[in-house]
Amino acid sequence: MTPTVKVDASVSDEFQPDILEVSVYLEEEAATKQGAVNLYASSLNAVLAAVESIGVPRDEVKTGNFSIWRYGATDDRPETYECHGGVSFRLPCDEENHRRVWGAFLDMGPGISVDIDFSLKDREAARETIVGRAVEAGRRRAAALAAATGCELGGILHVENEVSRNLGGMDCLARASGDDRRVPVFNPTPIEVSCAVTLEYELIPRG
């Protein structure tokens, strides 16, 4: 039976967010379906105009998740209709863009809410960096164990890895009333990416 060595290793690091992921949520309500649709269309046009004023090209703006909900009449309220949908876009993560996004949506009506997520433009690159470092740390540990038993590392027989990341930070502009016009401090939370690996190598006796 071929001797083997099996090791675990883990590595984590922090990456500074380089992208603002902005999600705008729209919700409008009216007594009729057409009334709700008209209000939604008006709000959507206002949101798209605000996004354009920030300088985001229209082809980089995504719209979707449109739905119409009907609520039947009850003893407390008449029949109503609600329209829901969303708009999303990305911008480089810097203080000026952060301020411009807040300023663009601060005076929107109560049916508009905004999330600003601090994220990574290339998550896969961050993942590959951490996985590579974890594998290298595991290889060094396996080589040390092999040397202690008078062996050298042979081929790798098995690899398992698990990568996780925190969500960074998020600012929320929920149904801005215009009462509080302060832009929050721009201080994105670093995004921690971690990787745990299990490696199994063949051992080759020296000499």
- In order, the DSSP letters of 110-127 are TTEEEEEEEE-S-HHHHH
Classify the C-alpha dihedral 145-146-147-148 as positive or negative: positive
Note whether 5 and 200 are within 8 A (CB): yes
Beta pairing partners, 13: 193
Note whether 9 and 162 are within 8 A (CB): no
Longest alpha-carbon distance in the chain: 90
Q: What is the pLDDT of residue 169?
A: 57
Residues of the chain with pLDDT under 70: 166-182
Q: What is the pLDDT of residue 175?
A: 39
Q: Is the model's pTM score more than 0.85?
A: no
Q: What is the pLDDT of residue 90?
A: 96
